[in-house]
Amino acid sequence: MLFASCKDDYPYDDKEPEWLGESVYKYLSEDGHYTTYLSLIDALGYAETLDRTGSKTIFPANDKAYEAYFQSLGLSGKGSDVVKSMTKSQQQLLFNSTMLNMAYLDNMLANVPNSGQSDNSGEGIALVRASAASYLDSITFLDKDRLPAPEYWADYASRGGIYLMDNTSRPNVIFTPDFMLRLGLTESDWTQLFPDKPYDEVGFYVNGSHVSGNQKNITCKNGYLHIADEVVRPLQNMADVMAS
């Protein structure tokens, strides 16, 4: 009796594609220029998630960018030490604002599944993506001296103030070439809107921070990295605006 076996030509049962990189966490660790960002990940206990699971879109910045960011806030010292001095809610807000809970290449960032447009295309129409940041990352307390005058607020004033919670995710505003093209916006339009930010028809901007064309779409096992030139800062939500 003879037995025969066969094997198909599909190669990835036994090996990974050459274009597939390491995990997000391992990529950042091996690069050596992201110790501050990694200290945020470690402080929040998120290392295993970014080393093993996905799929995420991450907008990290290097150590020099974080040093400049902290200095703009009047904070000095080694980046990882500054991170340690932050409260957990501050760490969460800063880190979660750099992450989307879905894996997106840059040309997917402006797409939506069902736009309702006449041409039935959802490509290039999204400006906002929900970040991983939540209202739980930062809950603002408005003391009694800052409450509005109407009687509605009197009960809260008698208690000394009120915690303001905007029960929505914090958005990231992402200007991509696809969005600009879909809306017919030109370099001249961009210059009028953002005179201090160079127009880029290859890269994109997230919360005002630039991602150049050669720093986008870094493919990892559990997501994509888009390296920002500056720290991607969290945007204000309604509670923040009222408290400012």
15-62 pLDDT tens trace: 666 666 789 999 999 999 999 999 999 999 999 999 987 799 999 999
Mean pLDDT computed over 63-68: 98
pLDDT: is 26 or 157 the higher one? 26
Burial class (CB in 10 A: 0-12, 13-18, 19+), 236: middle
pLDDT tens for residues 194-212?
999 999 999 999 999 999 9
Cβ atoms of residues 235 and 94 within 8 Å: no
The count of residues in the chain is 244
Domains and CATH numbers, the chain: 18-243 (2.30.180.10)
Contacts of 208 (CB under 8 A, 6+ apart): 173, 194, 197, 230, 233
Q: What percent of the chain has pLDDT over 70?
A: 79
Q: Is 197 exposed, middle or buried (0-12, 13-18, 19+ CB in 10 A)?
A: middle
When the pLDDT of each residue in the chain is averaged and rounded to a whole number, the result is: 86
For position 3, what pLDDT does the model report? 57
Predicted confidence (pLDDT) per residue in 126-155, tens digit: 999 989 887 555 556 667 787 777 777 788
**pTM greater than 0.85:** no
Comparing 130-134, 161-165, 213-217, which segment has the lowest mean pLDDT? 161-165
